[in-house]
Amino acid sequence: MSDLLSTFDLKGQVMFLPTDDHQKSIDFYEGVLGLELVRDQGLCRIYKTGPSAYVGFCDRGYSIPTEFRVVITLLIDDVDGVYAAAQKAGVPTENTPGTSERFNVYQFFLRDPNGYLVEIQRFNDPLEGDA
């Protein structure tokens, strides 16, 4: 097995997910979470989640069923602040912020209108290059 991408300058990543209600996705990711829309392709909208990371939602008339457990993890230092803001805005959460000993992260989950889990997370040990 070779390191296919190791000699190329990887610029970032976009994760595309289907949605069965495009407007609800727009309202949630732009209006509730406040993510920056970087590209509106009509059928798909792409939001910035980090310096070179993006998530896109495409109007496909279906979403991935919740039993397949798609998780969108957003890395944010002030997890408690986001939780408090979600509570104030009436955004339902799946749990309260806490430490996952197994993964060594501090986090909580909420669910978007497609049924996808959105994890608000802080690594307890910074990733290499983030220290």
Per residue in 55-89, pLDDT tens?
Answer: 999 999 999 988 887 899 999 999 999 999 999 98
Q: What is the pLDDT of residues 33-49, one digit of tens each?
A: 999 999 999 999 999 99
Look up the domain containing 32 and give its range.
13-123
Q: Give a yes or no: residue 78 inside a domain.
A: yes
Residue 8 belongs to some domain of the structure: no
Residue type, 83: Y
47 is a domain residue: yes
| Residue 110 located in a structural domain | yes
Domain annotation covers residue 130 = no
Q: Domain count of the chain?
A: 1
Q: Which of 120, 123, 130 is nearest to 49 (CA)?
A: 120
CATH number of the structural domain spanning residue 102 = 3.10.180.10
Position 82, amino acid? V
| Structure confidence at residue 25 (pLDDT) | 96
The answer to whether residue 50 is domain-embedded is yes
Read off the pTM: 0.82
- Give mean pLDDT, residues 24-29: 96
